[in-house]
């Protein structure tokens, strides 16, 4: 781990920070793939490093809780909202491919699926598993996103994070204690800013596009994309997948409020139109209870619950 210089002191008054960057009582439902959830007490979506530094300086001075928000694809935000400051990385979008070496450097807000398609068009192998992943680079780094027996830990070289003390750190893959769908960044206040991935050069566009298209077709035909969801709700226990355990109990189509266990894939919970975060939360708990009772298996959520439920 390499520590870089502390965040610089900024000649911006607290009042101007609030006026220009920090908003209050901002609805978050439209910023999550579930389309549910309450408001952020404080919210900012910085567009550059200076605004990020200013927002972080405000957070440190106020001593409030901090929540980081990327694409909101793996989150269930409480109907009561989020206390403290929410920092969104949605505008941190920049990337660079080195086709000769295969290295890709991308900011935290870049959608991982878009990068997967761009890599395929350049004949770079290693991201084709991500063509259907509805998240950002930052979220993928934090949760060790993966599919098709591959994951981000397989290709990550390093990531740049902003630590709670205001220092910018460079972490290697060894620093992150990666395991299945987890890292030591989870439950942590370090904020991913950028990542460098090592892809494999030397392939043709046709080869990688074909593999990517096959992965995308498989996801479309086996997973529901027609209604809001967070993707897979539970981590897969061994030896059986979470969806298989749920399906064997006949729970496909089971609803609480307007939240439904998907018919196409039992490890998906769908918002059928007017679901609340509470509906989804109680359906998650119901599934856990049923699987525990019938299979003696404790399902661990892959979706991150934020706020009070």
Percent of the chain beyond pLDDT 90?
75
| The one catalytic residue among 181, 190, 194, 219 | 181
CATH code assigned to 224-306? 3.90.78.10
Query: Has residue 132 got a pLDDT over 70?
Result: yes
- Indicate the domain borders of the chain: 2-88, 95-220, 224-306
Band (1; pLDDT cuts 50, 70, 90) = low
Task: Quickly name the fold that domain 95-220 has.
Answer: 3.30.465
pLDDT at 19: 57
Residue 67's Cα: distance from chain center in Å? Answer: 13
57 is catalytic: no
Rounded CA gap, 185 and 19, in Å?
A: 31
296 is catalytic: no
Q: How confident is the model at residue 20 (pLDDT cuts 50, 70, 90)?
A: confident
- What confidence score (pLDDT) does residue 189 get? 79
Whether residue 113 has pLDDT greater than 90: yes
As to burial, measured by CB atoms within 10 angstroms (0-12 exposed, 13-18 middle, 19+ buried), residue 187 is: exposed
Among 58-72, 139-153, 222-236, where is mean pLDDT lowest?
A: 58-72
Question: Each residue of 260-291: pLDDT tens digit?
Answer: 999 999 999 999 999 999 999 999 999 999 99
CA distance 19 to 28: 20
In the predicted model, what is the mean pLDDT of residues 290-306?
96
The answer to whether 235 is a known catalytic residue is no
Q: Are 146 and 183 in contact (CB under 8 A)?
A: no
| pLDDT at residue 76 in the model | 97
Q: What is the 3-state secondary structure (H, E, C) of 277-298?
A: HHHHHHHHHHHHHHHHHHHCCC
Q: Taking residues 143-168, what's their average pLDDT?
A: 92
78, 183, 212, 232: the catalytic one is 232
pLDDT digits (tens, 9 = 90+) for 169-201: 999 999 999 999 999 998 777 889 999 999 999
What is the reported pLDDT for 134? 85
Do the domains spanning 2-88 and 95-220 agree at the CATH topology level? no
Q: What DSSP line would sit under 6-51, residue for residue?
A: EPPP----HHHHHHHT-EEEEE-GGGSTT----EEEEEE--SSHHH
Instruction: Report the pLDDT value the prediction gives residue 56, as an integer from 0 to 100.
Output: 87
| 54-63, 80-89, 155-164, 243-252: least confidently modelled range | 54-63
The answer to whether domain 2-88 has CATH 3.30.43.10 is yes
pTM of the model: 0.86
Average pLDDT (215-225) is 91
Of residues 53, 110, 128, 302, which has the active-site annotation? Answer: 302
Block residue for tokens 């989870």 = 186
């Amino acid at each position: 781990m390499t520590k870089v210089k502390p965040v610089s002191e900024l000649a911006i008054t607290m009042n101007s920070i609030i006026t220009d960057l920090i908003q209050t009582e901002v609805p978050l439902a439209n910023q999550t793939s579930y389309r549910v959830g309450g408001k952020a007490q404080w919210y900012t979506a910085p567009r550059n490093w200076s605004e990020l530094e200013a927002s972080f300086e405000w957070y440190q001075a106020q001593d409030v809780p901090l929540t980081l928000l990327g694409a909101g694809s793996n989150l269930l935000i409480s109907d009561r909202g989020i206390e403290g400051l929410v920092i969104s990385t949605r505008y941190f979008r920049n990337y660079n491919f080195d086709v000769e070496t295969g290295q890709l450097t991308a900011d935290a807000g870049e959608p991982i699926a878009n990068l997967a398609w761009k890599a395929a068009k350049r004949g770079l192998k290693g991201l084709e598993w991500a063509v259907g992943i509805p998240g950002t680079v930052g979220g993928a780094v934090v949760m060790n996103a993966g599919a098709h027996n591959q994951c981000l830990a397989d290709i990550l070289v390093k990531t740049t994070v902003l630590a709670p003390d205001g220092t910018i750190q460079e972490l290697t893959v060894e620093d992150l204690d990666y395991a299945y769908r987890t890292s030591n960044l989870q439950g942590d206040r370090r904020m991913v800013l950028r990542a460098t991935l090592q892809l494999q050069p030397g392939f043709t566009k046709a080869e990688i596009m074909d593999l990517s298209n096959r992965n995308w077709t498989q996801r479309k035909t086996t997973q529901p994309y027609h209604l809001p969801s967070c993707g897979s709700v539970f981590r897969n226990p061994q030896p059986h997948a979470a969806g298989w355990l749920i399906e064997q109990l006949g729970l496909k189509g089971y609803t609480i409020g307007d939240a439904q266990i998907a018919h196409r894939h039992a490890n998906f919970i769908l918002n059928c139109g007017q679901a609340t975060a509470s509906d989804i939360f109680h359906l998650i708990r119901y599934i856990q209870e049923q699987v525990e009772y019938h299979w003696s298996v404790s399902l661990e959520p892959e979706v991150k619950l934020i706020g009070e439920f």
